[in-house]
Amino acid sequence: DTGVSQDPRHKITKRGQNVTFRCDPISEHNRLYWYRQTLGQGPEFLTYFQNEAQLEKSRLLSDRFSAERPKGSFSTLEIQRTEQGDSAMYLCASSYSGGGNYGYTFGSGTRLTVV
Amino acid sequence: EDQVTQSPEALRLQEGESSSLNCSYTVSGLRGLFWYRQDPGKGPEFLFTLYSAGEEKEKERLKATLTKKESFLHITAPKPEDSATYLCAVGTSGTYKYIFGTGTRLKVLA
């Protein structure tokens, strides 16, 4: 297992365009999380899934943002009508609900630049 | 409101100069406190989980401790490769999301 994979690593888009990011979690992890991080700040929670169910969403997740996790495997995060304020690193993480150290494993992130 | 504050924002050390990073927290019900290391352009890398006051964890030159109000990450005899941003996060009762601090940027000079 190579860990949590995110694609693409970098995305530059024009304001108003739609973008979609993909996350492939560690295969045995049933929980998947999306966070957003801007320069000099810690990651901010966006949403999380347990299996295919989206259990919690932040109020940061406006109606322009949508996330899915079909079949409880990979997940996508879509941003519609992008704005310059959406420029950030989007981080995906996964964890296993069956115990252990409870820490997340993060991917390397997708850096979004809206011009 | 649940809150996590890290200090200092930035720290420069000479190689071998030990120091501590602070993470203070205010939460309604602590589920766990987590330390991560983040290198530029990469996602955070998990270091430690602490669950209850008095608990300590160690890994190489790092040692994390927890009280009811704060956690410390002690770095003993740091090396240049320890340079990174160290993030503290808390998990709270009733949710699996984390609340992160803004991090401490550590620079260790050779």
Chain A residues whose CB is inside 8 A of the B45 CB are 106
Rounded-to-integer distance, Cα B78 and Cα B8, Å: 17
Give B6-70 as a 3 state SS string: EECCEEEEECCCCEEEEEEEECCCEEEEEEEEECCCCCCEEEEEECCCCCEEEECCEEEEECCCE
B interface residues, A as partner, C-beta within 8 Å: 4, 31-32, 34, 36, 41-46, 49, 87, 89, 91, 95-103
pLDDT digits (tens, 9 = 90+) for B50-79: 999 999 999 999 999 999 999 999 999 999
pLDDT digits (tens, 9 = 90+) for B2-42: 899 999 999 999 999 999 999 999 998 888 999 999 999 99
Q: Which of B86, B85, B55, B82 is nearest to B68 (CA)?
A: B55
Nearest CA of chain A to the CA of B15: how many Å? 24
